[in-house]
Chains A and B, each alone.
Chain A
């Protein structure tokens, strides 16, 4: 048992054939502690999406090891990866990805449908949990609303409730405010801060420096490498971009 939630060693992801080999990740080493709030920045094509996909167990690295919550997930099968995503990772997407035909509370219940039979709560309990999750993001009065009856900010809050309902140790947010106006963005960031305060480890991809400024630590990627990592990562990232 160590105090790192995420330990990544020499992570390499390549695309293409032997002749035209593209390195999306060129040997990334990274440690993330329990309860950290990390932002990942970098220009498009820098490998930040690839890194997030691998950390989210949606994709597998070509080489290297990835230990998540003391479990080496680099060698897991598709089925095992699905279980890891279900139990350990909550996803928040830029475009919310709610199912339009389901009311808010049913959207929030989705992750619990894919629990393994042995530790799956009863239907009533699942509904209760979904309602609680929605209440915790301030949507206790919008349970039966369908996504198209909610504002963008409200939809993203439903998505956050959905990401948290399984109580995962890790929350992955991919441009969570990318589709929102500045007021809604502030609301969402306040919510994420709140989660951080409760001890959830948060990794967030963003290209907006003022959003990245919410994080304790900013990692900047370029050409598949980490070029800066620290508290002032955002300005460092900007400085590097300016230098180009």
Chain B
């Protein structure tokens, strides 16, 4: 008997009970789809991290209050940023940041709950973020708490449309500001919508928008840009020394954190990897469960068709003919499951992305991987029932009701 004929017989056997065949493949479908979605999700997470590296640059040092230490955020203040700018060598710039959420008005429009980011004049340079038009505010304006604002590109569009916003008045909260510039479009990077924010001197945030009465010059984050990667370690050591002295703490147990972009990435990568491993287990387990389902139904099928097997044996089917017939049934089940699973996985990954639930990026290699895994499951879990069928004694098989 040729392979194609055996294949045709196996296919015939499966179409005999379509609902059962479909339910049997469901386990494999879920397993394969989750392999593909899992890889797409973790590839999406990795892409987000990669974007963060590109958006912030590898020579950036992030200084902030140490998380998990009570009161640490109270002691991390604007003076710390000024001290770093003054005494740390080999740095290009320092940008302190604190933000507030306010309603704004300008032109003929009003916008609710907009992020107002208080920064220092080094901000564009430190964050590699250029202006589209106008200028950024100056050191003097920051020192004098001048009410000037630089708009994110999207905010400028929303308030003024095609009009030139330069020199226009806007109201943030209840304070009037003069627009001096518009930032270039940057979009959403690593969950931050740069275009949807307004940038003003940090001193004005302290004066007008900080809600806490005490320690109103608290800073959320200070970004320090080093001259090059080579001086990073030295810059980190200097920052640590300056802050430890100012805060009067042991440098080995600080109430502040000094991190590079690389540190943050490593932490996130570890999280992503743990997540991916977990998903890999889930996918693997569901494939195995799917395989057991196939084995179960194949054993039922062999029992149900014992007489047919006996008849085929009497008519001259060799043990291998019978074994191949049932093995192919199992493989067809798993491959059809694999195919539907691949389509479901691709569709699922696409839908997750489109709905914004999760960022996903389809990994092309995951398709043959998942398909191969499905085929392996079919062969592995089909082998035992097929062997059972091939080893049936023709006399017993023919006699069975």
Q: Are A82 and B395 in contact (CB under 8 A)?
A: no
Interface residue A78 (Cβ < 8 Å from any Cβ of B): yes
- Residues of A within 8 Å of B394, CB to CB, are 58-59
How many angstroms from the CA of A99 to the CA of B320 in the assembled complex?
A: 20
Q: Are A83 and B395 in contact (CB under 8 A)?
A: no
Contact residues, A111-127 vs B (CB, 8 A):
111, 113-115, 117
Comparing B27-35, B265-273, B304-312, B344-352, the segment that makes contact with chain A is B304-312
Q: Are A111 and B2 in contact (CB under 8 A)?
A: no
Query: How many pairs of A and B residues are in contact by the CB < 8 Å rule?
Result: 59
Identify which of B1, B12, B315, B319 contacts A91 (C-beta below 8 A).
Answer: B315
Residue count of chain B within 8 Å CB distance of chain A: 22
CB distance from A168 to the nearest CB of B (A): 10
CB distance from A156 to the nearest CB of B (A): 14
Report if A114-B395 is in contact (Cβ < 8 Å); known contacts: A97-B307, A99-B311, A101-B12: no
Interface residue A53 (Cβ < 8 Å from any Cβ of B): yes
Residue count of chain A within 8 Å CB distance of chain B: 24
- Residues of B within 8 Å of A91, CB to CB, are 314-315
Q: Are B315 and A111 in contact (CB under 8 A)?
A: yes
Interface residue A93 (Cβ < 8 Å from any Cβ of B): yes
Interface string of A37-56 (1 = CB under 8 A from B): 00000000000000001001
Q: Are A56 and B312 in contact (CB under 8 A)?
A: no
Interface residue A1 (Cβ < 8 Å from any Cβ of B): no
Interface residue B5 (Cβ < 8 Å from any Cβ of A): yes
Report if A85-B318 is in contact (Cβ < 8 Å); known contacts: A113-B5, A114-B1: no
Identify which of A78, A79, A101, A114 contacts B315 (C-beta below 8 A).
Answer: A114
CB distance from B106 to the nearest CB of A (A): 77
How many angstroms from the CA of A56 to the CA of B314 in the assembled complex?
A: 8
Chain A residue nearest in CB terms to B318? A82
Report if A99-B321 is in contact (Cβ < 8 Å); known contacts: A110-B315, A113-B1: no
- Residues of A within 8 Å of B98, CB to CB, are none
- Residues of A within 8 Å of B1, CB to CB, are 113-115
- Residues of B within 8 Å of A113, CB to CB, are 1, 5
Report if A85-B319 is in contact (Cβ < 8 Å); known contacts: A53-B395, A58-B395: no
How many angstroms from the CA of A163 to the CA of B250 in the assembled complex?
A: 97
How many angstroms from the CA of A111 to the CA of B12 in the assembled complex?
A: 17
Interface residue A132 (Cβ < 8 Å from any Cβ of B): no
Q: Are A85 and B315 in contact (CB under 8 A)?
A: yes
Q: Write the residues of chain A forming the contact surface with B, with a CB cutoff of 8 angstroms.
A: 53, 56, 58-59, 78-79, 82-83, 85-87, 91, 93, 97, 99, 101, 110-111, 113-115, 117, 162, 166
A–B complex contacts, Cβ < 8 Å, 16 sampled: A58-B395, A58-B398, A59-B394, A78-B319, A82-B319, A85-B316, A87-B316, A97-B307, A97-B311, A99-B311, A101-B12, A111-B316, A113-B1, A114-B321, A115-B316, A162-B315
